[in-house]
Amino acid sequence: MKKIIFLLSAIIMTTINSFAAEFEKDVFKTSAGDLTITFIAHGTLMMEFNGKVIHIDPVGRYADYAEMPKADLILITHEHGDHLDAAAIDKIKKPSTEIILTKTCASQLGSGKVLANGESATVQGIKIDAVPAYNPEKAFHPKGNGNGYVLTFGDKKVYVAGDTENIPEMANLKNIDVAFLPMNLPYTMTPEQVANAAGMFNPKVLYPYHFGNTNTDELLKLMKDDKNIEVRIRKLQ
């Protein structure tokens, strides 16, 4: 029996250590506890706060979701296959999991709570504001179709922009502590556009994400004289 318990413990620890080693993480102190952000890939993130697990745009090509922590909350920004993956969602769902998504995503997934641009909800104790995400002059992401999300964790606000350009509505964002801005053409932004977007609302920490083969050094050069915004580069191609 002791041998079986030892083997099970070893398997569990190996799984945990493997998960920890596979993805980078950053921890932010908030007035209501630590917020841990795990950088999966592309537009896919995971956050942990007060015992809750939040998955954002979980997609199976970026992680083995059968091995990932089960979700208390799932956020989907829009319906494209690199953001909405029903199979990945099924692997991390549990009976109490709540899903926030767009109208188009809900029609494809068949479940979830729809938030339109400008709407808000408090889910699992976390305030969620849905904000616009779109391309002004391209057809990839029409206005009103996709969401960005502002999540409030205690005294900290995290903005996950979704697929968008540096749209005027970003100037309405206030007191953003952490921002994820997409940076790859032709679907989202150039480094110049990301720098412009950041200048509209001045997050304390900026992560470019969903950046494909875009050279992140270009953004670092553009932002080097802005002492109020810390740019962090993580493995989020």
Residuewise pLDDT in 10s, the chain (237 residues): 444 444 444 444 444 444 445 899 999 999 999 999 999 999 999 999 999 999 999 999 999 999 999 999 999 999 999 999 999 999 999 999 999 999 999 999 999 999 999 999 999 999 999 999 999 988 899 999 999 999 999 999 999 999 999 999 999 999 999 999 999 999 999 999 999 999 999 999 999 999 999 999 999 999 999 999 999 999 897
- Residue 77 forms part of a structural domain: yes
pLDDT at residue 6, rounded to an integer: 41
- Residue 75 forms part of a structural domain: yes
- Residue 164 forms part of a structural domain: yes
pLDDT at residue 17, rounded to an integer: 41
Domain count, the chain: 1
Tokens standing for 53? 């697990």
- Residue 135 forms part of a structural domain: yes
Sheet strands (E) in the chain:
24-30, 33-41, 44-49, 52-56, 73-75, 98-101, 113-114, 120-123, 126-133, 146-153, 156-160, 178-182, 205-209, 230-231
- Residue 237 forms part of a structural domain: no
Report the chain's C-alpha Rg in angstroms.
Answer: 18
CA torsion angle for 142, 143, 147, 148 (degrees, to 10)? 110
pLDDT at residue 229, rounded to an integer: 97
Strand, coil or helix: what is 158? strand
- Its domain, for residue 23, covers 2-231
- Residue 201 forms part of a structural domain: yes
Question: How far apart, in whole angstroms, are the C-alpha atoms of residue 100 and residue 208?
Answer: 23
CATH code of residue 99: 3.60.15.10
In angstroms, the first-to-last Cα distance of the chain is 45
- Residue 32 forms part of a structural domain: yes
